[in-house]
Amino acid sequence: MSTLTEQHTVPAGGRSAASIAPARKKKLGPAGIAALVVLIVLAVAWLLPFFWAIVTSLKSETDAASAALWPAQGFTFDAYAKVLAEGNVPIWAWNSLFTAALITLITVLTSALAAYAFSRMRFRGQKWAYIVVIAAIAVPPQVLIVPLFYEMLAMDLVDTYWGLILPQVVQPIIVLILKQFFDQIPIELEDAARVDGASRLRVFTSIVMPLSRPILAAVSIFVFVWAWNNFLWPFIIINDPQLMTLPVGLQTVKSAYGIQYAQNMAMAILAALPLIIVFLFFQRQIIKGISTTGFGGQ
Amino acid sequence: MKALRSNKPRENLTGWAFIAPLGILFILFMLVPILWGIYLSFTNQSLTGAGGDLIGFDNYAEALADPDMWRSMLNTVWFTVLSTIPLVVVALALALLVNTGLPGQWLWRLSFFMPYLLASTVVSLIWVWLYNPQLGLFNAILGWFGIDPVTWLQDPDLAMLSVVVTTVWWTIGFNFLLYLAALQNIPETQYEAASIDGAGRWRTLASITIPQLGPTTIMVVVLQLLASLKVFDQIYQMTGGGPAGTTRSAIQYIFETGFTGFRFGYSSAISYIFFVLIIIVSVIQFRITARRSA
């Protein structure tokens, strides 16, 4: 596993990755060609479901409901037009964006503050507080759905944005990752400011946070992707179609649309598009994020 | 550290002030539900508000005698076994192939990682369509070779396997990137030394690359087992747990007893039995990895 200290040396871009790879790559021998062929076959296999979904979404409903690969009536954007005109897809996309952004902001901000206290300060009860937070990493959030829902009922937060957002902002693993990063920052950088009389908060905002920009970016991207794609909790807490996120909305209309395959596929493509665009833009950061922090979730 | 002790009362206050925002959220949305869930598991609380009397260990006794609960646990373990092996082995193979320095790095990474970005709903939409017995791509391909259509998700013997294939496609990108990053961190000097000693491609792989990946493999396996045990989304959306309960996961059973069966108390008890299962797996894993690195 790559550690946080190595994060500046881990190549993220295509060229640097190739340049650090074993030297035997230079000439494409028979083994290299064989590897290339295998890779091409596998990549095609991996991309085939995407290709199939796109093709289906561009068919008319009559063509989509036949097994023929090539549509008799030609390609059309009808399905997209219908989904966007009739459905709640734009509202759901906005809900997903809005809630995922807020979850990311609250999670990263509160986690960074706590991680900084755990990393740099010495105070009564600190050790115990840290142990409790770290122990919570072992608790699968899915196990808490029943008591959490009950709590939301008691707090009158069922079917509200806050009921959707708040239970998703506590992610102990993020605290652990940020604390490990803060531990690596040389303490001398802060000492000078401390001697000059800067408060802890001031040191945190004007020295530590700017230095941590790469890890904050990586962590934010991941929290955002998880929140954007989360299904079970939004599915449980939201019934109002106006408040649904994309994954929940898609699940509810999948049965309503029934056999309208082209529209189903058009919705799938529309829902997938934003994150794929985000990935294309932030490819380096995401890969760096994965390779430096080594955390995951499904 | 001694210098910090001098203004201790103030440091105590600042420390807790920094922790407070997370701490409040943590108590409200982690600690309270954990404790509330334990309490609920000893009651006959229903979703509708009825019940709520303490009934001791009745829920636990009922759950342990409930064949559906055991079935869902076994399904979960079976899914975990079936999915973890390819998600580790194939991910490693893909990373080794990509890391041979072939051209088009970004394209390979994109191909294998992109599915990981999709929501479970999108994944299940696409794959239910691919598996469609009459119109799906897979049966169309089988048809070219004159093979009869297969009912992928409706056949009790095939449904779990089909879901596993989807899961491998969907989530392998993450493990793949972890391996890729680890491969790029292996010092090149080791390969140079091996080639001076006249080691061939396979010998280098067996004596340098694979051993160097040990810590990464342990981490990938740990993360994968925990993730696979928590499976719910894609199965629920693709098969609804069917046919005949053959793919129903533990999380789905917790969800169903609570939110469609309205039995919050009973559902909580199953949650904690499941949690114990996860802890047992974690402890076994910890033992094995500790022994290995010792």
Q: What is the pLDDT of residues A266-276, one digit of tens each?
A: 888 888 888 88
Beta bridge pairs of residue B54: B43
**Chain centroid, CA B86 distance in Å:** 13
Provide the chain B residues 141-180 that lie in CB contact (below 8 A) with chain A.
169, 171, 174-175, 177-178, 180
Among A213, A129, A187, smallest CA distance to B17 is for A129
> B76-80, B171-175, B260-264, B286-290 — which is least confidently predicted?
B286-290
Asked whether the beta carbons of B123 and A246 are under 8 A apart, the reply is no
In the three-class reduction of DSSP (H, G, I as helix; E, B as strand; rest coil), residue A105 is classed as: helix
B110 vs A: CB within 8 A: yes
Asked whether the beta carbons of A293 and A4 are under 8 A apart, the reply is yes
Token digits of residue A180: 């490990």
B57 vs A: CB within 8 A: no
If you average pLDDT over residues A233-245, what whole number do you get?
A: 94
Among B173, B186, B162, smallest CA distance to B109 is for B173
Q: What confidence category does residue A281 fall into, taking pLDDT thresholds of 50, 70 and 90? A: confident
Residue A296 has pLDDT above 50, yes or no: no
Provide the chain A residues 98-127 that lie in CB contact (below 8 A) with chain B.
106, 109-111, 113-114, 116-118, 121-126
Residue of B nearest to A142 (CA): B251
Residue B22 has pLDDT above 90, yes or no: yes
> A15-19, B129-133, B274-278 — which is least confidently predicted?
A15-19
Q: B107 and A43: CB-CB below 8 Å?
A: yes
C-alpha distance from A33 to closest chain B C-alpha (Å): 9
Which residue type does A125 have?
Answer: G
The Cα–Cα gap between B7 and B12 comes to: 9
Sign of CA dihedral B153, B158, B164, B166: negative
The Cα–Cα gap between A168 and A230 comes to: 9
Phi, psi of B43 (to 5 degrees): -120, 170
Q: A268 and B126: CB-CB below 8 Å?
A: yes
Q: pTM for the complete prediction? A: 0.85
Beta bridge pairs of residue B4: none
Q: What is the pLDDT of residues A22-79, one digit of tens each?
A: 444 456 777 778 888 999 999 999 999 998 889 888 988 888 877 667 777 888 888 8
The Cα–Cα gap between A206 and A213 comes to: 12
Q: What confidence category does residue A252 fall into, taking pLDDT thresholds of 50, 70 and 90? A: confident
The Cα–Cα gap between A76 and A60 comes to: 6
Q: B98 and A18: CB-CB below 8 Å?
A: no
Q: What is the pLDDT of residue A20?
A: 42
Phi, psi of A113 (to 5 degrees): -60, -50
In the three-class reduction of DSSP (H, G, I as helix; E, B as strand; rest coil), residue A177 is classed as: helix
If you average pLDDT over residues A1-14, what whole number do you get?
A: 37
If you average pLDDT over residues A189-209, what whole number do you get?
A: 88
Token digits of residue B139: 């049966």
Q: A14 and B105: CB-CB below 8 Å?
A: yes
Beta bridge pairs of residue B43: B54
Q: What is the pLDDT of residue A25?
A: 46
Please count the helices (runs of H) and the strands (runs of E) in chain B: 16, 0
If you average pLDDT over residues A219-234, what whole number do you get?
A: 89
Q: What confidence category does residue A222 fall into, taking pLDDT thresholds of 50, 70 and 90? A: confident
Among A235, A224, A267, smallest CA distance to A107 is for A224
Half-sphere exposure of residue A247: CA atoms within 13 angstroms, side-chain side: 27
- Which residue would you say has higher pLDDT here, A295 or A248? A248
Which residue type does B62 have?
Answer: E
Q: What is the pLDDT of residue A258?
A: 62
Chain A residues close to B229, C-beta within 8 Å: 140
Residue of A nearest to B94 (CA): A39
Among A155, A149, A144, A169, smallest CA distance to A238 is for A149
Write the residue in A39, A110, A229 that is nearest to B22 by C-beta: A110
In the three-class reduction of DSSP (H, G, I as helix; E, B as strand; rest coil), residue B263 is classed as: coil
Q: What is the pLDDT of residue A96?
A: 93
What percent of chain A shows pLDDT beyond 70?
84
Token digits of residue A140: 């699968």
Q: What is the pLDDT of residue B260?
A: 87
Write the residue in B28, B36, B177 that is nearest to A290 by C-beta: B177
Q: What confidence category does residue A1 fall into, taking pLDDT thresholds of 50, 70 and 90? A: very low
What letter would DSSP give residue A166?
G
Provide the chain A residues 215-254 that lie in CB contact (below 8 A) with chain B.
225, 228-229, 231-232, 236, 246-248, 250-251, 254
Q: What is the pLDDT of residue A7?
A: 36
B70 vs A: CB within 8 A: no
- Range list of β-strands (E), chain B: none
Among A152, A143, A142, smallest CA distance to B28 is for A152
Asked whether the beta carbons of B129 and A56 are under 8 A apart, the reply is yes
B41 vs A: CB within 8 A: no
Residue B20 has pLDDT above 50, yes or no: yes
Residue of B nearest to A116 (CA): B18
Mean pLDDT for chain A overall: 82
ipTM over 0.95: no
Kind and range of the H or E run holding A196: none
Q: B181 and A236: CB-CB below 8 Å?
A: no
Residue B187 has pLDDT above 90, yes or no: no
Asked whether the beta carbons of A284 and A12 are under 8 A apart, the reply is yes
B37 vs A: CB within 8 A: yes
What percent of chain B shows pLDDT beyond 90?
46
> A89-103, A151-165, B174-188 — which is least confidently predicted?
B174-188
Q: What confidence category does residue A163 fall into, taking pLDDT thresholds of 50, 70 and 90? A: very high
